[in-house]
Amino acid sequence: MKSNSSIISALIVAVGIVILGFCLKAGIDNIAFRDREVTVRGLAEREVPADLVTWPISYSLAGNSLPTLYDQVSANNATIVKFLTSNGISPDEISVNPPDSYDATSNRYRSDSFSYNYSINCTVTVTTKKVDKVRELLNRQSELLKEGIAFSNSYINYQFTGLNKIKPEMIAEATKNARAAADQFAADSESRVGKIKTASQGQFSIEDSDSSTPFIKKVRVVSTIIYYLED
Q: Is the pLDDT of residue 135 over 50?
A: yes
pTM of the model: 0.75
Lowest mean pLDDT among 15-29, 119-133, 216-230: 15-29
Q: How far apart are CA 86 and CA 80, in angstroms?
A: 10
Q: Where are the strands (E) in the chain, listed by range? A: 37-49, 52-63, 94-96, 100-103, 118-128, 151-153, 157-159, 192-201, 205-208, 216-230
User: Whose CA is closest to 92, among 129, 140, 59?
Assistant: 129
Beta carbons within 10 angstroms of residue 9's beta carbon: 10
Q: What is the dihedral of CA 69, 74, 78, 84, to 10 degrees?
A: 70
Under the banding of pLDDT at 50, 70 and 90, the label for residue 24 is very low
pLDDT of residue 103: 82
Q: What is the share, in percent, of the chain residues with pLDDT greater than 70?
A: 81
Helix/strand/coil percent split, the chain, to 5:
40, 35, 25
Fold (topology level) of 52-159: Alpha-Beta Plaits (3.30.70)
Q: How do residues 59-96 score in pLDDT, each as one tens digit?
A: 999 999 999 999 999 999 999 999 999 999 999 999 99
162-211 residue pLDDT tens? 999 999 999 999 999 999 999 998 888 888 998 888 988 888 999 999 88
Domain ranges of the chain: 1-35, 37-49+161-231, 52-159
Residue 131 has a pLDDT of 97
> CB 121: neighbour CB atoms within 10 A?
15
Q: Which CATH class, in words, describes the domain spanning 37-49+161-231?
A: alpha beta
Q: Count CA atoms within 13 Å of residue 53 on its CB side.
A: 24
pLDDT value of residue 33: 47
Which whole number is the average pLDDT over 41-52? 96
Residue 32 phi, psi (nearest 5) = -60, -40
pLDDT at 109: 61
Gap between the terminal Cα atoms of the chain: 50
Task: Please report, to the nearest 10 degrees, the dihedral formed by the alpha carbons of residues 213, 215, 216, 219 taken in order.
Answer: 120
